[in-house]
């Protein structure tokens, strides 16, 4: 992927590690194959992509990496044990990389959303985790969930994207190694 990008563009300025996957099940009920898929996508995915672009960014002496972590990685959550462990790992990975590559003017940060359900059925891709999970968000559940947030609404993909873009901008050039919650007051960590 990185080679292909460099065939078309001279630089890679920004990497957003967004790919992620989970399936809500109690730890003791979840098959090992699900854990392995979670670790492969949520943790190895971020390691692989970060490793692949860092040579380029170090050569450029500039770059922005933003990882999509999760509030789950900070406070833990039912039925998301290994997923949460991966997200906690992503936060720590981001901090370690920030320390190692700060001298090359590369900023590495993580954004921690709470639940960001799709706005409507079908507004997600074929491989999306929401293919299995979207059915859980009935209007009643949405209404109940809404009240758990200080701002009395659920997050949207755009809420998260706005923070990612801010962190990639020059306006955030002094911010690195941080995990920042965009979660409507869900955790307030």
Partner 1 sequence: MGEFSGKVAVVTAAAGAGIGQATARSLAKEGANVVVSDAHAKRTAQVASEIMNEYGVKTLGIQCDVRIPGQVGGMVDQTLKEWGRIDILVNNAGIDKPSPVWEMDDESWNLIIDTNLKGVFNCCRAVIPTMMKQRYGKIVNMSSVLAWLGGEEEGVAYVTAKAGIQGLTRAIARQVGQFNINVNAVAPGLAYNPFMDKLQPPEYFQKIRSQEILGRDGTPQDMANAILFLCSEKAGFITGSCLCISGGWFMY
Please name which of 1, 9, 14 lies closest in space to residue 66, comparing C-alpha atoms: 14
Pick the piece of the chain touching partner 1 (CB under 8 A) from 2-10, 23-31, 41-49, 176-184. 176-184
| Binding to partner 1, residues 82-111 (CB under 8 A) | 95, 98-99, 102-103, 105, 107
Q: For residues 180 and 111, what is the distance between their CA atoms, to the nearest angstrom?
A: 5
Residue nearer to partner 1 on the CB measure, 82 or 172: 172
119 scored as a contact of partner 1 (CB under 8 A): no
User: Tokens standing for 80?
Assistant: 């998301």
Mapped to the 3 state alphabet, what secondary structure does the chain carry?
A: CHHHHHHHCCCCCEEEECCCCCCCCCHHHCCHHHHHHHHHHHHHHHHHHHHHHHHHHHHHCCEEEEEECCCHHHHCCCCCHHHHHHHHHHHHHHHHHHHHHHHHCEEEEEEEECCCCCCCCCCCCCCCCHHHHHHHCCHHHHHHHHHCCCCCCCCCHHHHHHHHHHHHCHHHCCCCCCEEEECCCCCCC
| Minimum CB distance to partner 1, residue 10 (Å) | 24
| Binding to partner 1, residues 131-170 (CB under 8 A) | 149-153, 155-156, 159, 162-163, 165-166
Residue nearer to partner 1 on the CB measure, 3 or 103: 103
115 scored as a contact of partner 1 (CB under 8 A): no
**# binding residues, partner 1 (CB under 8 A):** 35
| Minimum CB distance to partner 1, residue 94 (Å) | 9
Q: Is 83 a catalytic residue?
A: yes
- Residue from 8, 9, 127, 174 touching partner 1 (CB under 8 A): that is 174
| Minimum CB distance to partner 1, residue 41 (Å) | 25
Active site residues: 83
> In the complex, which residues of this chain contact partner 1 (CB under 8 A)?
95, 98-99, 102-103, 105, 107, 149-153, 155-156, 159, 162-163, 165-166, 171-185, 188
């Amino acid at each position: 992927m990185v080679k292909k990008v460099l065939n078309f563009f001279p630089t890679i300025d920004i990497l957003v590690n967004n790919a992620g996957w989970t399936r809500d099940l109690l730890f003791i009920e979840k098959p090992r194959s699900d854990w392995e898929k979670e670790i492969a996508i949520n943790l190895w995915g971020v390691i692989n992509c970060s490793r692949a672009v860092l040579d380029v960014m170090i050569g450029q002496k500039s770059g922005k990496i933003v990882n999509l972590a999760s509030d789950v990685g900070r406070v833990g959550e039912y039925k998301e044990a290994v997923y949460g462990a991966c997200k906690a790992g992503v936060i720590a990975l981001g901090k370690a990389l920030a320390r190692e590559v700060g001298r090359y003017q590369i900023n590495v940060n993580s954004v921690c959303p709470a639940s960001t359900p799709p706005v409507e059925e079908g507004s997600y891709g074929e491989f999306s985790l929401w293919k299995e999970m979207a059915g859980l968000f009935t209007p009643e559940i949405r209404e109940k969930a809404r009240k758990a947030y200080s701002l009395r609404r659920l997050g949207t993909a755009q809420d998260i994207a706005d923070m990612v873009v801010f962190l990639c901008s020059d306006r955030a050039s002094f911010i690195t190694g941080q995990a920042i919650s965009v979660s409507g007051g869900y955790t307030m960590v």
